[in-house]
Structure 1
Amino acid sequence: MRLDLRTVLRELWATGAGRAGLLLFGLLALAALWVVLTFPRDFGPRRWSNPALWGDYPKAAPPAWTNLLGPRRPEHRILETRAPAREDGKLKVYELAFDFQGRQPPTFLSFSLADVTYRSGPPTVEAVLIRPDGGEVPLFRTVISGPFPGEAPPYRRHQDEPLRVALDSDPNAVEATYGYLLEQEPGVDYDAVQRQLPLALFGRWVDGGLVPLEGRYRLEARVRVEDPGDRVGRVRFVAGGAVYGAMGTDAQGRDLAQGLLFGLPIALLIGLAVATLSTLLGTALGLVSGYAGGRTDLLIQRAADVVNNVPVLPLLIFMVFVLGARLWLILLVLVLFSWPGLTILVRSMVLSLRTSPEVEAARALGASRGRIIVHHVFPHIAPFIFATLIFSAPSAILAEAGLSFLGLGDPTLPTWGQILEQGFRTGAVYLGYWWWILPPGLLIVLTAIAFMLISLGLEPIVNPRLRRGQ
């Protein structure tokens, strides 16, 4: 049975399972392409594995849409500006304003600035919170580090790592907040302010306790410079929430939606690369073994038996110990140990085709062995090979996820298996962090279902009797 690609796609689209599989795989492929085009190539080692970049995000926070299903929790706010709102001589004022509406204050507060450049004296930075009642609370004050010996102007500070201060645990912020509230209402409890600093900053002291104060708040970063050309590249204020994003965050504050998206092209790469390479290797060896016969057949079959009985997991553990946990190592092992089964099946099919009238006629006309294999044997088993390739792709994805779950995956890449492994290692199951466990597992299942549906749609092509019965 000879079928070209157009016929295969037409037959595949004619079945419900084939259509669903193609549509689902198309959506996954488009999402993977978008990730490849928009995410930086070094997202894994430079962003995902860099804890400093996730310091302004809530830890182990559920998705933001969970507020629609239960009690409303504070949302995460990241306010950022790169240009001063006003300048008065040597004073540059950066403003960040937001409305606070609700009964729950932010879970944490942080202030950071980055990309500071000055030419003579170091700037002085002061962060002041202006409340709806008109009060001002000075939260933080610092002087940027001065010139180093031998350093020439302009002096640049905090280019790679921003200056970040956790205001909710800063003693100066506690003292300033307590002093302000004490001026408003005598009898303010210092311990209560220290324990509930975010509520103290966004509230007032009433009847022996802290209550929220709704309204518009404004954080001012007042930068006093020696030279009008001095500047601050970025000022950021974070009011931490209890929910975040579409998929929540992990224990380090990393956005799980970004990790899951980045893991999609990796999963498809693993599935398609392993399935393609192992199928090509197994098919080639099976064709040669079945048609050549003799010692060649014996050698290939004994090699297949040996490889098929090698314990892969202990070998992979040893290779990871020697070479380190790398994604290419998992791909190599999966390819090298996935071909024997297909080789044995292809050999048995070639043995029956070797004596067919078509092959005998080609041999009588003087066709070479390679031409007979390529043009008269392979086309008859091509539908089966293509179906096997599609069917083996989800097995490769599940194998990588399983190996990563055992701690053998590349820790610098957020694959779905790696995210699951980190969740289980951190105790996400026992702590009830379902958003850390369910999404990667469902994505693995969804991708496997896409390949499975395509495989089911290929059944009429592999089995001609089913095709004729449609």
Structure 2
Amino acid sequence: MSSITPQEIKQEFLKSKIGIVGITILGILIATSIIAIIAIPVETFQEWNNPGNWISYPKVAIPIWVNLFMTEKIPEHKILENPNIQTNSDGEIMLSSHKFGVNFDYEFFPNDFIYVFSSEYSESALLQMSVTRPDGIELELLSTSLPYSNTKTIHSERIFSTDDAIKKNLLLQSEIFDFDLEGLSAEDIVFSDTKTNEPLKGNYVFSI
């Protein structure tokens, strides 16, 4: 009975192109895993498993490159940072304005928008949000008081476009639009033409 030597197994394996490709792919995967473990900080893995982080970076967000193959552009997921900040004081009253600009050039309405903030204050604080549209119309979105505090505190919060207060404020401004706003989301109203419920392209400035 003849035995097969390791050298013969090696020679037979090298003759198989599929086997070589398989080993190459396996080697690449192992090398990538090792590099990821070494190069990526532990905090990144912890954030990956934190559901709160997926609010700002949703799993279902469509990649930007999809629009390269679309005749009608789909709104991209954007994170707006570095706003234009203006601060004024009038006696004991401090006014701080943050303006975020975004160029909306899509054929569909966005799914939502979120404002994430942290504010340091004492006693009472009022948060107001509005948006100036490409047609010059300014829509009041929100006016709400932050939790009262006797001492200096830092309040962090996320405000979603699905907030009932935003929808209510938009309905109070329904005379601006030539169509019924009932049943429409806040995004479908904010980013809509006033004549027909179709996306209005151009520059929007959100003021907080």
Which of 180, 189, 198 aligns to 2:180? It is 189
Which of 129, 144, 147 aligns to 1:127? It is 129
- Equivalence map 1:109-124=2 (5 Å): 109-114=113-118, 116-118=119-121, 120-124=122-126
User: Does the CA contact (< 8 Å) of 2:129 and 2:140 recur in 1?
Assistant: yes
Q: How many pairs align?
A: 198
Instruction: Name the residue aligned to 2:88.
Output: 88
SS of the residue aligned with 2:148? coil
**Distance in structure 2 (CA, Å) of the matches to 1:146 and 1:196:** 31
SS of the residue aligned with 1:145? strand
- 1:108 matches 2:101: no
Q: Which runs of 5+ in 2 are unaligned?
A: none
Closer/same/farther in 2, CA of residues 23 and 41 from structure 1, 3 Å limit:
farther
User: Does the CA contact (< 8 Å) of 2:132 and 2:138 recur in 1?
Assistant: yes
Q: CA deviation at 1:104?
A: 0.8
SS of the residue aligned with 1:176? helix
Closer/same/farther in 2, CA of residues 127 and 108 from structure 1, 3 Å limit:
same
Letter in 2 for 1:20: V
TM-score calculated relative to the size of structure 2:
0.72
**Distance in structure 2 (CA, Å) of the matches to 1:83 and 1:101:** 20
Instruction: Name the residue aligned to 2:169.
Output: 176
SS of the residue aligned with 1:54? helix
User: Does the CA contact (< 8 Å) of 1:181 and 1:205 recur in 2?
Assistant: no
How big is each residue's C-alpha offset from its partner over 1:207-249, in whole Å with a ceiling of 9 and x where there is no partner?
xx3222110111122xxxxxxxxxxxxxxxxxxxxxxxxxxxx
- 1:217 matches 2:208: no
User: Does the CA contact (< 8 Å) of 1:181 and 1:204 recur in 2?
Assistant: no
Letter in 1 for 2:147: S
Q: CA deviation at 1:68?
A: 4.5
Letter in 2 for 1:211: E
Letter in 1 for 2:110: P
Q: CA deviation at 1:62?
A: 5.3
User: Does the CA contact (< 8 Å) of 1:129 and 1:138 recur in 2?
Assistant: yes
Q: CA deviation at 1:124?
A: 2.3
- 1:198 matches 2:187: yes
Q: CA deviation at 1:71?
A: 5.8
SS of the residue aligned with 2:74? coil
Aligned CA RMSD, in angstroms, stands at: 3.6
TM-score calculated relative to the size of structure 1:
0.36
- Equivalence map 1:258-407=2 (5 Å): none
Q: CA deviation at 1:197?
A: 2.7
Q: CA deviation at 1:201?
A: 0.6
Letter in 2 for 1:157: H
Instruction: Name the residue aligned to 2:29.
Output: 28
Closer/same/farther in 2, CA of residues 201 and 34 from structure 1, 3 Å limit:
farther
Letter in 1 for 2:191: F
Instruction: Name the residue aligned to 1:259.
Output: none
How big is each residue's C-alpha offset from its partner over 1:111-150, in whole Å with a ceiling of 9 and x where there is no partner?
2213x333x33432222111112222121222332337xx
Closer/same/farther in 2, CA of residues 211 and 125 from structure 1, 3 Å limit:
same
Instruction: Name the residue aligned to 1:140.
Output: 142
Higher relative strand content: 2
Closer/same/farther in 2, CA of residues 181 and 24 from structure 1, 3 Å limit:
same
Instruction: Name the residue aligned to 2:159.
Output: 165
**Distance in structure 1 (CA, Å) of the matches to 2:55 and 2:142:** 18
Q: CA deviation at 1:63?
A: 4.8
Instruction: Name the residue aligned to 1:285.
Output: none
- 1:38 matches 2:40: yes
Letter in 1 for 2:96: K
Q: Greater Rg, structure 1 or structure 2? A: 1
Higher relative helix content: 1
**Distance in structure 1 (CA, Å) of the matches to 2:148 and 2:159:** 19
Closer/same/farther in 2, CA of residues 23 and 72 from structure 1, 3 Å limit:
farther
**Distance in structure 1 (CA, Å) of the matches to 2:204 and 2:87:** 21
How big is each residue's C-alpha offset from its partner over 1:137-171, in whole Å with a ceiling of 9 and x where there is no partner?
121222332337xxxx542333xxxx11222x333
How big is each residue's C-alpha offset from its partner over 1:68-93, in whole Å with a ceiling of 9 and x where there is no partner?
55564523333333565222232222
Closer/same/farther in 2, CA of residues 117 and 84 from structure 1, 3 Å limit:
farther
**Distance in structure 1 (CA, Å) of the matches to 2:35 and 2:206:** 36
**Distance in structure 2 (CA, Å) of the matches to 1:42 and 1:66:** 26
Letter in 2 for 1:107: N
Instruction: Name the residue aligned to 1:280.
Output: none
